[in-house]
Amino acid sequence: MSGLRTQVGQLAHRSVLRTLRQPAQIVPAIVFPLFLLAVNSGGLKDATNLPGFPTDSYLTFILAVPFIQGALFSVMNSGTDLARDIETGFLNRLALTPLRGAALLSGLLAGAFVLGVVQAVVYLSVGLIAGAELAAGAGGALVLIVLSVTITVAFGTIGLFAALRFGSGEAVQGLFPVFFVFLFLSAMALPLDLLTTDWFHTIASVNPVTYLLEAIRSLLIEGWNLDDLALGFGIAFAIGTIGMLAASAALKTRLVRT
């Protein structure tokens, strides 16, 4: 067990170092969602006039979106890092040690974890400074950060799976626009109840991203809505579990060592 802990610790240390030493991974993951936040909160603020809109601050409503956009960057970052290890043979080097698959995957997600914490703190701070509300108070801020990091790590497992399945950084990066489509086909810009176009409402209502957004929004707009929070955490854990299982299976195929 101590061997496993050491392996996870060392691989996590490497993953964090890699993340911190690549400003090109960190800066876009923080700046791009904030840019979209500025554009959306300014351009769509009249949406708050719609009957049934849950808040009179569109900034507060749309502040949930950067947390999900930031998490999507973690798919790309964790996936491309692992794909590079496959392409350069670094994974083979690790495979020649008594490496355990669980250690490799957990360690690699450490970078996503650190990036997730930084992103969540920055998004929330910028949002609050810009005038957004946080109905759940200081405790809610902490839960929001935990939820955001959970979503980031969960999405990161999908990046790991893609890297192990396809073995190429380009393939992982190709997933990025696909995931953005998921975001746009959710209750990103309006609450689910106000999406009146039938097909869009149907898609958004089965899109798990909608419920991740609603969990974050519940803390910002309502305070403590345990149902929404439970659903958000549950979906994040489900995505993380499925992603981890898929990545573990792909790792077994990728690591054909006897």
Partner 1 sequence: MTETQRSGGIEVEGLVREFKNGPRAVDGIDLEVGQGEIYGFLGPNGAGKSTTVLMLTTLLPPTAGSARVGGFDVVSEGPQVRSTIGAALQEAALDPLLTGREHMRLQTAMHGLGKEERAARGSELLERVGLAHAADRKVGGYSGGMKRRLDLALALAHRPRILFLDEPTTGLDIQSRTALWEEVSRLAAEDGVTVFLTTQYLEEADALANRVGIIDHGHLVAEGTPAELKAEIGRPTVEAVPRTAEDRERMAAVLERFGERAGSSPRGVAVRLDGGESQLAEVVRALDAEQIAIEHLQLHAPSLDDVFLAKTGRSLEGADEAEEDEAETAAPA
Do 53 and 194 meet the contact criterion of CB atoms below 8 Å apart?
Answer: yes
Among 44, 47, 94, 121, the residue binding partner 1 under the rule CB under 8 A is 94
Supply the minimum distance, in Å, between the C-beta of residue 215 and partner 1. Answer: 34
Residue type, 103: A
DSSP letters, 196-219, are -SHHHHHHHHH-HHHHHHHHHHII
Stretch that binds partner 1, among 2-10, 154-162, 188-196, 235-243 (CB under 8 A): 2-10
Residue type, 30: I
Q: Is 17 in the site for partner 1 (CB under 8 A)?
A: yes
Stretch that binds partner 1, among 88-96, 118-126, 148-156, 203-211 (CB under 8 A): 88-96
Q: Is 92 in the site for partner 1 (CB under 8 A)?
A: yes
Q: Is 93 in the site for partner 1 (CB under 8 A)?
A: yes
Q: Is 95 in the site for partner 1 (CB under 8 A)?
A: yes
Q: Is 3 in the site for partner 1 (CB under 8 A)?
A: yes
Among 6, 125, 202, 241, the residue binding partner 1 under the rule CB under 8 A is 6
* Unique residue bearing structure tokens 């790792």: 251
Q: Is 89 in the site for partner 1 (CB under 8 A)?
A: yes
Q: Is 117 in the site for partner 1 (CB under 8 A)?
A: no
Q: Pull the structure tokens for residue 216.
A: 């974050």
Which long-range contacts (C-beta less than 8 Å, at least 24 apart) are formed by 36-45?
A: 36/65, 36/66, 36/69, 37/62, 37/63, 37/65, 37/66, 37/123, 37/126, 37/127, 40/65, 40/189, 41/130, 44/189
Do 175 and 83 meet the contact criterion of CB atoms below 8 Å apart?
Answer: no
- Number of residues that make up the chain: 258
DSSP 111: H
Binding pattern for the stretch 127-166 against partner 1, x by CB under 8 A and - elsewhere? ----------------------------------------
Q: Is 55 in the site for partner 1 (CB under 8 A)?
A: no
Binding region for partner 1 (CB under 8 A) = 3, 6-7, 9-11, 13-14, 17-18, 21-22, 85, 88-90, 92-99, 167, 253-254, 256-258
